[in-house]
Structure 1
Amino acid sequence: MNKPYIIEFPAIGSSEIGYISVAENSDLLPFEVKRVFWTYGTPESIVRGRHAHYQTQQVILAVNGRILVTTEQADGPVEVFVLERPNLGLYVPPNVWHTMQYSNAAVQMVLASTSYSEEDYIRDHSEFRSVWK
């Protein structure tokens, strides 16, 4: 699928004992995970992201708190996704501009399909629009 969408990971357990959710290289993930990273301690007033990728696919999760993810597809559609349950992830395919805003104490974890490469990033929005139009 070439547009962002929510993935619901199983929440195994109960409110009495707690939950575990698992992200394996399985049918839920549309790619093999090559890199995992997380962000935390981001002030609520800061907007992160502000880029797209040429090749990298990602799943963004709010393992704590709430994250508002705004996506923009190359052909124009803009969507806002609210991540506030740790078993929900947002699939972000290549060629999708995305930004994130965090609630206080939010922790974001990202599963990525590639190792880090600065060359894979498009950090200028006007360049993004011109490359993918």
Structure 2
Amino acid sequence: MTTVENVQVLKIPVIDDVRGNLAYIQSGVIPFEFKRIYYLFDVPSTAFRGGHSHIQQQEILIALSGSFEVVVHDGIEKKSYLLNKPNVGLLITTGIWRELQNFSSGSVCLVLASDMFKEEDYIRDYDEFLKSKK
């Protein structure tokens, strides 16, 4: 069973340069081959995103710009992460409930997903999520 201890902060490799830094993600940098990339932007500071878990899909969240908080829950324990650097990713494994909140103005959340969108992979009801953890 996955727990919040399976959630990991990942360092994204950066090439430092006086002309501007370059971060890269390629095979071997993250623990899965991503099949989908999407991003959230123009999220009001009072809005919540996420509010689901995945049965099989893993994701990495990166704050490309600005900041936001990611609260993860495994059915027993909660943990919170502030993402505010474009060279740091948060790996969220399967079976972890996630909520994104407190978006700063101009924030952009990039998500690398291990699979294509499949509605049947989502658990969107919190009570159903808790039942799945027993």
Please, what TM-score do these two structures have when normalized by structure 1? 0.93
Match of 2:117 in 1: 116
CA–CA distance in 2 between the matches of 1:44 and 1:34? Answer: 29
The answer as to 2:102 corresponding to 1:99 is no
Taking only the aligned residue pairs, the percentage that are identical comes to 32
How many residues are paired up?
A: 129
Q: Does 1:20 align with 2:22?
A: yes
Corresponding residue for residue 71 of structure 1: 72
Give the alignment of 1:28-39 within 5 angstroms: 28-39=29-40
Deviation track 1:32-76 (CA, whole Å, cap 9, x = no partner) reads 1100000100000001000000000000000000010000013x1
Query: How far apart, in 2, do the equivalents of 1:67 and 1:88 lie?
Result: 13
Which residue does the alignment assign to 1:6? Answer: 9
| Structural RMSD (CA) | 0.9
DSSP-derived class of the 1:128 partner: helix
C-alpha distance after superposition, 1:76-116 (max 9, x if no partner): 12110111000000000010000001111100000000000
The aligned amino acid for 2:117 is: Y
Segments of structure 1 that go 5 or more residues without pairing to the other structure are none
Cα distance between partner residues in 1 of 2:9 and 2:77: 16
The normalised TM-score by structure 2 is 0.93
Q: Distance in 2 between matches of 1:58 and 1:110?
A: 6
